[in-house]
Amino acid sequence: MGARSKARKRAVDVLYAAAVRDADPRTLHAERTEVTEHPAPNDYATTLIEGVVAHRERIDELLTEHAEGWTLDRMPFVDVAILRLGVYELLWAEDVPDPVAVDEAVQLARSLSTDDSPRFVNGVLGRLATIAERLRATL
């Protein structure tokens, strides 16, 4: 697993834990870097967490609009964390190609969530990827 893939997993772990605890992901990430059982943070993990937090309202609007038949409240916390990260990378991470953002999110869903989650994550992010250029123009 590459450094960026590890950073994505760490970011999802923090976003998930923050959602479960109803905590600020940035605070949780900072606290985790202070304890020895968590490895030193990757700068990209910090970038991802801060980016998701900064754009969460717009990310959640897009997820609500494009997750056909699903509300954020009905989705497992881990799927929401993965999708938020995927949307952030898809629309705001200029150095991440769209297919890579989608594929990395699908891989996270495959390793961290239910058997149905990879297909669901792929579907939602795939729909967003088809209109990503138009969405980026409005950000």
Q: What gap in Å lies between CA 105 and CA 15, rounded to an integer?
A: 14
Chain Cα centroid distance, residue 133: 19
Q: What gap in Å lies between CA 99 and CA 46, rounded to an integer?
A: 22
**In this predicted model, what pLDDT tens digit does every residue of 3-31 receive, in sequence order?**
899 999 999 999 999 999 999 999 999 88
**In this predicted model, what pLDDT tens digit does every residue of 28-63 receive, in sequence order?**
998 887 765 555 556 899 999 999 999 999 999 999
Instruction: Tell me the pTM.
Output: 0.93
Task: Give residue 39's pLDDT.
Answer: 57
| pLDDT at residue 93 tops 70 | yes
Q: What gap in Å lies between CA 37 and CA 80, rounded to an integer?
A: 25
